[in-house]
Amino acid sequence: MGLLGSLFGFSKKDNSPKFAKLTQTDAAQLEKQRAVISAEAKRRYGTLGLTKTKEDLVVLQRLLDDRAFAKTQTYDLQCLGVVLGDVFVSELP
């Protein structure tokens, strides 16, 4: 199975993905990461908040275009990924 298999929850015996409810700790961490992007968008552009819809893509693109975060700001870039994931979850079937 290898690295990709382990990253996506596949085992050698069972190739189906495994899903589990987020722990409170995980949910709190994701909220903190969303808050990083929300705060930066508010500071730079005066946005009122994130919507978890495709409207957030405009904000994410602006942050990228404006190089709001340096390549070395790994945590902040991961936060962008969390917000992008929220859009995927709400907009895609």
The full 3-state SS of the chain, as one line of letters, equals: CHHHHHHCCCCCCCCCCCCCCCCHHHHHHHHHHHHHHHHHHHHHHCCCCCCCCCHHHHHHHHHHHCCCCCCCCHHHHHHHHHHHHHHHHHHCC
- What is the average pLDDT value for the chain, to the nearest integer? 90
Q: Is the pLDDT of residue 8 over 60?
A: no
Residue 56 and residue 83 in contact, taking contact as beta carbons nearer than 8 Å:
yes
Find, among 1, 71, 76, 4, the residue nearest to 43 by Cα.
Answer: 76
For the segment 22-65, what is each residue's pLDDT rounded down to a tens digit? 999 999 999 999 999 999 999 999 999 999 999 999 999 999 99
Confidence at residue 10, expressed as pLDDT on a 0 to 100 scale: 58
Please tell me whether the overall predicted TM-score, pTM, comes out greater than 0.85 for this model. no
What percentage of residues in the chain have a pLDDT greater than 70? 86
In order of start, what are the domains of the chain with their CATH numbers?
22-91 (1.20.120.1090)
